[in-house]
């Protein structure tokens, strides 16, 4: 078959909502786009453990500590589901880890913000995981089979994360005036970075159209952002917190909220590596990798020893 025929067959499969599987023919650009997107997503899960890991030892009680620990463990799991999905496209795990550690690969900018108080555990679960869910639910129908299947598992677990976070922020907002102020402060700091998570405006997002044609992406950045805002504003009202956007207003005609201008300079600046925690996050990942080298070596040595022992037992 000619290249044009292969491409036409590929696109007609996608148009018919059939999934593309690892062995199937696919355009190189589709493969590259997926490798980039899935590995960035995996890196985000791995780096995403750091801001919350910061509070595990200081959780206010045992129940909250165990829940936070379980959530962070899930994120490690999500990273692993996604790395293995990316590997089905011919990308090696080693190379992906290398790109993350060297700073070459990107991950979600949101994780370059610091977690200053316990209330941030609430704001992250509620807003950051909430935004992630809005982004990720449509990915369960992404055209690439292994990615879609990994996302089904991720989404199932993610809803626990959001409720866990909302429970934290809800409890604080019903607490003492100091606790309520803490919750409000966390919302003030996380709101804008959270709505930036949906990415640049549609007219600034050059690859979106192609990803939509390939059904990797189902909704545009602005559509998803609007949906998230419309869903979240009433939740903030319910717990008596104020969203830090003076332009936020219900638009009766459109049936949705109007909201203020996003500071895209900040967004691109954090992506470029100048966010408050970019360097600390990369250092933490590199330290973990380097300090864990002996564990990996010991595991290999132990496996070899075990094999040798089995072989000797067989021989005798």
Partner 1 sequence: MKNTWPLWEVFIRSKNGLHHKHVGSLHAVDAEMAIENSRDVYTRRSEGISIWVVPSTEVHASNPNEKGSLFDPADDKIYRHPTFYNVPDEVENM
Question: By the criterion CB under 8 A, which residues form the site for partner 1?
Answer: 21, 23-25, 70, 73-74, 77, 80-81, 84-85, 87, 92-94, 149-150, 153, 157, 299-300, 302-303, 306-307
Least CB distance to partner 1 at residue 201 (A)? 35
Least CB distance to partner 1 at residue 268 (A)? 34
Nearer of residues 70 and 212 to partner 1, judged by Cβ? 70
Least CB distance to partner 1 at residue 39 (A)? 15
Nearest one of 15, 100, 114, 118 to 64, comparing CA atoms: 118
Least CB distance to partner 1 at residue 63 (A)? 18
- Asked whether the beta carbons of 218 and 138 are under 8 A apart, the reply is yes
Nearer of residues 242 and 311 to partner 1, judged by Cβ? 311
| Rounded Cα–Cα distance for residues 50 and 280 (Å) | 10
Strand ranges (E), the chain? 249-251, 256-258
| Rounded Cα–Cα distance for residues 210 and 14 (Å) | 13
- Asked whether the beta carbons of 21 and 260 are under 8 A apart, the reply is no
Nearer of residues 99 and 185 to partner 1, judged by Cβ? 99
Q: Any idea what DSSP says for residue 20?
A: B
Nearer of residues 123 and 142 to partner 1, judged by Cβ? 142
Nearer of residues 79 and 193 to partner 1, judged by Cβ? 79
Nearer of residues 84 and 235 to partner 1, judged by Cβ? 84
- Asked whether the beta carbons of 181 and 165 are under 8 A apart, the reply is no
Least CB distance to partner 1 at residue 142 (A)? 16
| Rounded Cα–Cα distance for residues 2 and 142 (Å) | 26
Cα 314–chain centre separation: 48
End-to-end distance of the chain based on CA atoms, in angstroms? 57
Least CB distance to partner 1 at residue 82 (A)? 10
């Amino acid at each position: 078959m000619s290249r044009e025929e292969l491409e036409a067959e590929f696109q007609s499969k996608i148009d018919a909502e059939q999934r593309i599987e690892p062995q199937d023919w696919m355009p190189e650009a589709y493969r590259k786009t997926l490798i980039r997107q899935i590995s960035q997503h995996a890196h985000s899960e791995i780096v995403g453990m750091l801001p919350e890991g910061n509070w595990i030892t200081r959780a206010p009680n045992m129940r909250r500590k165990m829940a936070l620990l379980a959530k962070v463990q899930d994120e490690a799991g999500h990273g692993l589901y996604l790395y293995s999905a990316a590997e089905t496209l011919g990308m090696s795990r080693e190379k992906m880890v290398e790109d993350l550690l060297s700073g070459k690969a990107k991950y979600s900018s949101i994780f370059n913000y610091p977690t200053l108080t316990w209330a941030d555990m609430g704001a992250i679960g509620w807003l950051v995981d909430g935004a992630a869910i809005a982004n990720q639910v449509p990915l369960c129908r992404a055209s690439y089979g292994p990615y879609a299947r990994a996302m089904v598992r991720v989404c199932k677990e993610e809803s626990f994360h959001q409720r866990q976070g909302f429970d934290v922020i809800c409890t604080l907002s019903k607490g003492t005036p100091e606790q309520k102020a803490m919750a409000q402060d966390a919302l003030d700091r996380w709101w804008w970075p959270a709505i930036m998570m949906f990415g640049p405006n549609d007219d600034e997002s050059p690859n979106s159209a192609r990803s939509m044609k390939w059904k990797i992406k189902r909704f545009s950045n602005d559509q998803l952002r609007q949906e998230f805002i419309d869903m979240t504003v009433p939740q903030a009202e319910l717990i008596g917190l104020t969203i830090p956007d003076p332009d936020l207003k219900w638009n009766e005609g459109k049936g949705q909220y109007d909201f203020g201008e996003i500071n895209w300079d900040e967004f691109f600046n954090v992506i470029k590596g100048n966010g408050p925690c970019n360097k600390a996050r990369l250092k933490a990942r590199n330290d973990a990798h380097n300090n864990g080298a002996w564990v990996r070596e010991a595991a290999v040595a132990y496996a070899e020893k075990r094999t040798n022992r089995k072989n000797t037992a067989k021989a005798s």
